[in-house]
Amino acid sequence: MLDANIPWQRNYKYLGVTLDKNLHFRDHIERVRNTALFYKARLGRKSKLSRRNKRTIYKMCIRTVMTYASPVFAHAAPKALHRLQVIQNQFCRAATDAHWCVRNSILHRDLELPTISKYMKDASKRFFDIAGSHPNALLRAAVDYQPPHPTHLIRRPRNVLTDPPDALTAAV
């Protein structure tokens, strides 16, 4: 561009989302995971806050960091999204000061928190409903497509709406 070489980038951060060449979002999820762990560490297991306040801090700070732009990357590999679910499980265990033998589904139910996959699925549904009825024709056209068959190798953002729930979501 203008007789200058543009260096090749493997990743690019745009509007807070780290995009990679194949849109696998591994680097984005890793960055978000590290940020959420940073905030979670500030909360501490032996914090004097009430369970209600810990839950509010999680919902306002940690979950918003983990699920920012989730309709874009909710169709990422389940293994990558599981790494975010692990952080939520760790928070639930620390907030309730639960013993290791208590199931994660019970902790989620007690704290009244949906799993990350359920939350992302609901956020994606809200996004596609709002975008589908938007007055801008270009935006309506962008979300008005039929997702490929669930067993198809190419995953699109709308696939997350038809995915079956994972084991933890089904238990909660």
Beta bridge partners of 14: 17
Question: How is 72-139 classified by DSSP, letter by letter?
Answer: HHTTS-HHHHHHHHHHHHHHHHHHHT--TTS-HHHHHHHHT---HHHHHHHHHHHHHHHHHT-S-HHH
pTM over 0.95: no
Cβ partners under 8 Å of residue 14, min gap 6: none
Please write the tens of the pLDDT for every residue from 22-50: 888 888 999 999 999 998 888 777 788 88
Please write the tens of the pLDDT for every residue from 120-134: 888 888 888 888 888
